[in-house]
Amino acid sequence: MENEEENRLRKITTRFKPGEYSLIDGRFKKTRFRKMSEYIRCVLLKKPITINYRDKSMDEMLEELSLLRRELNAIGNNLNQAVRQINAAHGSADNRLWLSLMSIIGTKVDPAIAQIKDRMQKFSELWSQKSKPDEASSAQ
């Protein structure tokens, strides 16, 4: 089978105004193509072009979820360290150590978890709002 790249012997040079080029470049960047020549060839030959669409609000939500995951990991690490220190007391853990751990959970962990739950609820409401128009259009 012959390689298509070997058959491309003809070259066309076209000049664009800055505005025209930025329009073409903007459209090119939204596609899956790695090279501008591939994109232009598909446009000129009227081949199908796949455009990648990114929902900016979804990107913001995913970034926030990533931060929440890191926060939860940090909380879990802190709890593990506290429990290890209590267990390192060789079974003679004083009630004061357990009370201090419960105090830490009450003052730091519970508010952080409440904040995370609140953010997750807001994301859930936003996602459900986005799915409602789709459901309405598919029902028609």
Amino acid 130: pLDDT: 61
For residue 16, the model assigns a pLDDT of 92
Distance CA 57, CA 70 (A): 20
pLDDT at residue 56, as a whole number? 67
Residue 71 is inside which H or E element, if any?
helix 56-87
Q: How far is CA 41 from CA 28, 84, 117, in A?
A: 11, 63, 50
Q: Going residue by residue through the chain (140 aa), what tens digit of pLDDT does each one get?
A: 445 557 888 888 999 999 999 999 998 888 888 899 989 998 988 898 877 666 666 677 778 777 888 887 887 787 788 777 777 766 666 777 777 777 777 777 777 778 877 877 877 777 666 655 544 444 44
Contact assessment for residue 116 and residue 74, using Cβ atoms and an 8 Å cutoff: no
- At residue 137, the pLDDT reads 46
Model pLDDT, residue 139: 45
* Entry pTM: 0.41
Parse the chain into domains and list their residue ranges. 14-53, 56-131
